[in-house]
Chain A
Amino acid sequence: MRGYLRAVAVGFGWTGRRRSAELGVMVGLTAAVAAAWAVLGVIALPHPANNPAGSSHPMPPMPWMPGMRAPAAVASPAGSMLLGSGPVLGMAMWALMVVAMMLPAALPAVRYVAGSSLYWRRPRAMTTFAAAYLAIWVAYGGVLYAVLSAGPPVAGSAPFAAALALAAGWQLTPGKSKALSDCHRPLPLPQRGWRATAGAIRFGLWNGFACLRSCWAIMVAMAVANSPAVVWMAGFTAIVIAERFAQRPRRTTHVVAALLAASTLIVAVGAAAA
């Protein structure tokens, strides 16, 4: 366990020797993750005046904008963050969510990009990679928005339970293993010029796509999740990080499959009881 935590600490850039110009970008990206969590936490945590069971109640004033009322589904702890408030706000929420949930898993690759770049290109290469990686996830949000908006309204716990079951099943497929393997593989990073920029973009897209193939199903769950989504977000993020740093990836994905299956049952039973 200690070795595992050390690997996480090194991968996130908290410890270990850092190269010049690396620290600033790592601090910036970590701050972005923290800020995304803070905003989502404020928005999504149940408010005492709010009814966690439904989204039809009037919203309390948004705390950072006295006197203003939040758009219902944005501030609502119940209702999908992606689907509940129109494409612009929905995609903004989604972008915050992928920064909070998926950027931490990319930090080891960002450090790799730092070590693989000339020192004066380092900040540019790191941010280019991170932007390409996040672009994949944002684009996926757009696809989910289009697909889920076109179908019947997402309501109640059934879609969420179904997505959890889907995620549990995906864990056991060869596609999942291959995706998680690919998350560990670097691409060539040429030294400078347009090739260097193209290399960082290509690696960011490749790594983001590998991460997407690994985690697409739990993000479907996030897209249809109801309140309190921030708790699920935290749990899923822990899963993503655990898998990303697993020294024994096969065992880890199987443990996660069991956790997701158990969650499916709990949600389904909860829905039936309600």
Chain B
Amino acid sequence: MTPPVAPYVRRSVWTLPAGDTTIADYAKAVEIMKARKPDDPTSWSYQAAMHGSYHTPARPLWNGCEHQTWYFVCWHRMFLYHFEQIVRAAVVEAGGSADWALPFWNYCAGGQQATLPVAFRHPTSNGTPNPLYVAARNPQINQGLALQPAVTSPAHALSRPEFTGVAQFGGGITPLQPFSAPPGGNTGQLEYTPHNDVHGTIGGWMGDPGTAAADPIFWLHHSNIDRLWEIWADAPHTNPTNPAWVGQKFSFFDTTGQVVQMTPADVLDITGQLGYTYESAPPAAPPAPPAAPPVVEDLTVMPPPPEPELVGRSQAPVTLVGVPASVTIEIDAQAAHKVQGDQPLPSHVYLSVEEVTGDKNPDTVYGIYLNLPEGAAAKTAGSHHAANLSFFGLQRAQHPLGDEPPHGLAVTKAITSLVRQLAADGEWDGQHVTVTFRPLGLIPHDQPELAHALPEQMSDNDPPVQVSQVSILYA
């Protein structure tokens, strides 16, 4: 592949200069693509269905999205690359800019940037239907409320030293094992937060892989996820070199509707191989001081930690219906001693939420808190926050659209720093752990102090989601 002379620049949607036409061009292109025939691979519905679709029979290359695998970041990079070229051709067709590039939604910057870009919020634009608007979103998103920092923060993902491994950046080695022994989630930390959590908070079409890519904001969200992979890799970190990863072939359509193949090895250098780059992250709006010290794990962990050992497990499942719920875990002294010896704390602590099942994504994202006093205020909750639980792909995991084994969702996250902090504060006795799930609602962007507060409108009418077991592991 010949490196292009001047790379296309993907820019932050919230800080585009006045008079910039990137979003207007995108809207026109979306309209053009929506008008194409459904069997045209460059049509809007076909591109969306390549990610996932409930329409049957499936057409060629539909339902191809890679989730809960180590191909998550690279498949979506390829998908966006081809989509961007198709959109650019449509932009040019509409008389727009020939150097159009897909913008990214940098919700990580917080403040107003954590709200849905204005151009996507309203059903009409200048009196005509707005092609960027989707009604099937959490209404508060279209009203301009902001995603919480707990949902948008990439800090934990970017702090992961390895691409593969337990609770690392990019996901576990696939193919999926029948019964990946816990904590065997194949999902990488970037995929959990912010990726899944942003999908889950926007909800509606975005809450389900079978419909997500039909929402025009999907592509700006994934542009940001792709940017975060680039930031992690530039840190520098090492992408997999395993031939099973670098050589895996995936197929897409080019601007003329011809099938083209790509492997991860073709997309590791975005400028040299793919001809695009990201503008440097623009200065963020000054974020409010977070209620808790960010949970950033040790950066010095080399080599990767040993296989985690189960030390505690909930005795019964818990069902989430939209209101707070807790389980208590008893830490087994014998198992804990085997790992940590006479040290007061183990070197690594993991939280694992396993076999999460349900019929429908409730479009609620939960914060998971350790040893949180009941009804605790926002600030207290922030200092006990361990992880999130969101349900992107809940139905599809159990009823795969493609030909793949079914599974439940799972979250595994390193929580060593939080446990050390709790121990220092006298809130960790090493014998009992209470794990609390609380809904993480949307908040006004100028009231960051409401982060982790219980949402004002809570009901227990959510479609139920069952969490089979919650475990604590030491290493």
User: Which residues of A are in contact with B by a Cβ distance under 8 Å?
Assistant: 2-4, 7, 10-11, 17, 19-20, 108-109, 111-112, 114-120, 181, 183-192, 195, 244-251
A109 touches B179 (CB 8 A): yes
A191 touches B177 (CB 8 A): no
What sequence of 0s and 1s flags, for each residue 324-357 of chain B, a beta carbon within 8 Å of any chain A beta carbon?
A: 0000001010110010000000000000001100
B143 in the interface (beta carbon within 8 A): no
A114 touches B181 (CB 8 A): yes
Q: Which residues of B contact A108 (CB under 8 A)?
A: 177-179
A190 touches B178 (CB 8 A): no
CB distance from A255 to the nearest CB of B (A): 12
CB distance from A211 to the nearest CB of B (A): 12
B313 touches A190 (CB 8 A): yes
B403 touches A191 (CB 8 A): no
Among B178, B182, B315, the residue within 8 A (CB) of A195 is B315
B310 touches A7 (CB 8 A): no
Q: Identify which of residues 164-206 in chain B touch chain A, using a CB-to-CB cut-off of 8 Å.
A: 175-182, 184
CB distance from B411 to the nearest CB of A (A): 16
B408 in the interface (beta carbon within 8 A): yes
Measured CB to CB, the nearest residue on chain A to B306 is A17
Show 15 residue pairs from A and B whose CB-CB distance is below 8 angstroms, ordered by the A residue.
A11-B177, A108-B177, A111-B181, A115-B184, A116-B182, A117-B310, A119-B310, A119-B335, A184-B179, A186-B468, A188-B468, A191-B315, A245-B178, A249-B403, A249-B405
Q: Which residues of B contact A187 (CB under 8 A)?
A: 468
B407 in the interface (beta carbon within 8 A): yes
A7 touches B184 (CB 8 A): no
B178 touches A11 (CB 8 A): yes
A247 touches B309 (CB 8 A): no
B179 touches A111 (CB 8 A): yes
A191 touches B332 (CB 8 A): yes
Please give me the 3 A-B residue pairs with the lowest Cβ-Cβ distance, nearest first. Answer: A115-B181, A112-B179, A191-B313
With contacts A186-B355, A192-B332 taken as known, whether A19 is within 8 angstroms of B406 at the C-beta atoms is no
With contacts A114-B181, A118-B332, A184-B406 taken as known, whether A4 is within 8 angstroms of B175 at the C-beta atoms is yes
Measured CB to CB, the nearest residue on chain B to A252 is B403
B469 in the interface (beta carbon within 8 A): yes
A3 touches B315 (CB 8 A): no
B99 in the interface (beta carbon within 8 A): no
Q: Which residues of B contact A7 (CB under 8 A)?
A: 175, 177-178
B244 in the interface (beta carbon within 8 A): yes
Q: Identify which of residues 308-324 in chain B touch chain A, using a CB-to-CB cut-off of 8 Å.
A: 309-317
A188 touches B469 (CB 8 A): yes
User: Which residues of B are in contact with A by a Cβ distance under 8 Å?
Assistant: 175-182, 184, 244, 307, 309-317, 330, 332, 334-335, 338, 354-355, 403-408, 468-469, 471
A3 touches B244 (CB 8 A): yes
B310 touches A116 (CB 8 A): yes
Q: Which residues of B contact A115 (CB under 8 A)?
A: 181-182, 184, 310
Q: A17-B307, A186-B408 are in contact. List 10 more A-B contacts (CB 8 A).
A: A19-B309, A116-B181, A116-B313, A119-B338, A181-B406, A185-B407, A188-B469, A246-B405, A247-B175, A248-B403
A247 touches B405 (CB 8 A): yes
In angstroms, Cα B354 to Cα A115, docked, is: 13
Q: Which residues of A contact B312 (CB under 8 A)?
A: 191
Measured CB to CB, the nearest residue on chain A to B469 is A188
In angstroms, Cα B180 to Cα A114, docked, is: 11
With contacts A3-B244, A184-B178, A184-B179 taken as known, whether A118 is within 8 angstroms of B310 at the C-beta atoms is yes
Measured CB to CB, the nearest residue on chain A to B174 is A3
- Among A2, A20, A184, the one with the most B-chain Cβ atoms within 10 Å of its Cβ is A184
Q: Which residues of A contact B338 (CB under 8 A)?
A: 20, 119
A3 touches B403 (CB 8 A): no
A118 touches B335 (CB 8 A): yes
With contacts A3-B244, A4-B175, A108-B179 taken as known, whether A120 is within 8 angstroms of B335 at the C-beta atoms is yes
CB distance from A121 to the nearest CB of B (A): 9
Q: Which residues of A contact B310 (CB under 8 A)?
A: 115-119, 191
Measured CB to CB, the nearest residue on chain B to A110 is B179
Measured CB to CB, the nearest residue on chain A to B312 is A191
In angstroms, Cα B354 to Cα A190, docked, is: 12
CB distance from B81 to the nearest CB of A (A): 25
A181 touches B311 (CB 8 A): no
Q: Which residues of A contact B179 (CB under 8 A)?
A: 11, 108-109, 111-112, 184, 186
In angstroms, Cα B307 to Cα A188, docked, is: 21
B182 touches A185 (CB 8 A): no
B317 touches A244 (CB 8 A): no
CB distance from A26 to the nearest CB of B (A): 12
A247 touches B404 (CB 8 A): yes
CB distance from B240 to the nearest CB of A (A): 14
Among B175, B316, B332, B407, the residue within 8 A (CB) of A3 is B175
B355 touches A188 (CB 8 A): yes
In angstroms, Cα B175 to Cα A4, docked, is: 8
Among B244, B317, B406, the residue within 8 A (CB) of A185 is B406
In angstroms, Cα B398 to Cα A186, docked, is: 12
Q: Which residues of A contact B184 (CB under 8 A)?
A: 115
In angstroms, Cα B468 to Cα A189, docked, is: 9
A118 touches B311 (CB 8 A): yes
Measured CB to CB, the nearest residue on chain B to A246 is B405
B315 touches A190 (CB 8 A): yes
Q: Which residues of B contact A183 (CB under 8 A)?
A: 178
A119 touches B175 (CB 8 A): no
